[in-house]
Structure 1
Amino acid sequence: MPERFNAEFWHYLDKLVNSSTVVIDRPRGSTHPDYDDEVYPLDYGYLAGTTSSDGGGIDVWIGAAGSTRKGDHRVEGVLCTVDLVKRDTELKILLGCSEEEMRIITGFVSSHHMGCYLLRRETE
């Protein structure tokens, strides 16, 4: 794939994210609404005013270096997920996540009935 397409993808994703409000509806340490044994290792939420394949807002994970201030987000990667229970696929955006945090998120999502693929943003 030509390099310009890769750069354009991240450019457009940055524009979408930085023109959106991040809503954290599952803070770090909270339990999953359907699975009491699953505790969120990082803040998790969505971009207000966007639409994902499940009809909700586009999901985001926010790392320690992440921000919830509009226009102050750094996209570090995306997580492509497959959920066999919901029978859907989604794209989850990783904001301000370190390599270790991306590893933790991948481990959290890759359990039970879900699988994922991590696409890291290359350093520019």
Structure 2
Amino acid sequence: MNEVENNALFWQKLDSLVLSGTLKIEYPKGSAHERYHNLIYPVDYGALSDATSPEAEKVYAYKGSENTNDVTAIAVTTDILDKDCLVRLLIGCTEEESARILEFLNQTEFQKAILVRRVNTVPSWAIND
């Protein structure tokens, strides 16, 4: 199978996560990355600040220009310098902003990213959820 099994109910849960938290912008659009000053954030970037458990990881997000809190996509990144794999939310991002975020995340040879865009279909196995 070459496609991700995309589930509208997953996107609804992400929307609920965003709506139940507060997005704290750490890097406004146009600001430079703290370690790599040549990397300029194409949209606002920050983290949801309302984790409910001490071991919860931060939920990082890009906030686009659309006047909505809907999650429009997720970016999955892998970084060989930091030895990690992260998921970042794209909230209210236009297609152009999503493309610029993907370009931003793929600028270096050490980190690469993919985007999973939102769909509104429910797979047959999830109909009773």
Residue of structure 1 in register with 2:74 after alignment: 78
Q: TM-score, normalised by structure 2?
A: 0.80
Query: Which residue is equivalent to 2:37?
Result: 36
AA aligned opposite 1:34:
R
Structure with the greater alpha carbon radius of gyration: 2
Which segments of 5 or more consecutive residues in structure 1 lack a partner in the other structure?
A: 68-72
Residue ranges of structure 2 left out of the alignment (5+ in a row) = 1-5, 122-129
Pairwise CA distance, 1:74 = 1.1
Distance 1:99 1:22, change over 3 A: same
CA distance in 2, matches of 1:88, 1:66: 31
Q: CA offset at residue 39 of structure 1?
A: 1.2
CA–CA distance in 2 between the matches of 1:41 and 1:98?
Answer: 12
Matching residue's letter, 1:29 = G
- Secondary structure at 2:73 match in 1: strand
Residue type of the alignment partner of 1:81: T
* Deviation for aligned residue 1:123: 4.8
Higher RCO, 1 or 2 (CA under 8 Å, sep at least 6)? 2
Conservation of the 8 A alpha-carbon contact between 2:7 and 2:120: no
Q: Equivalent residue for 2:117?
A: 120
Cα distance in 2, alignment partners of residues 66 and 79 from structure 1: 20
Contact kept? 2:27, 2:46, Cα under 8 Å: yes
- C-alpha distance in 2 between matches for 1:63 and 1:111: 20
- The residue aligned with 2:46 is 45
> Secondary structure at the residue paired with 1:49?
coil
SS, match of residue 119 in structure 1: strand
Question: What root-mean-square deviation, in Å, do the aligned CA atoms of Structure 1 and Structure 2 show?
Answer: 2.0
Are the equivalent residues in 1 in contact too, given 2:27–2:41 (CA < 8 A)? yes
Matching residue of 2:27: 26
The number of residues matched between the two structures is: 113
Where 2:7 maps in the other structure, the secondary structure is: helix
Amino acid at match of 2:80: L
Post-superposition, which runs of at least 4 consecutive aligned residues in structure 1 deviate over 6 A?
A: none
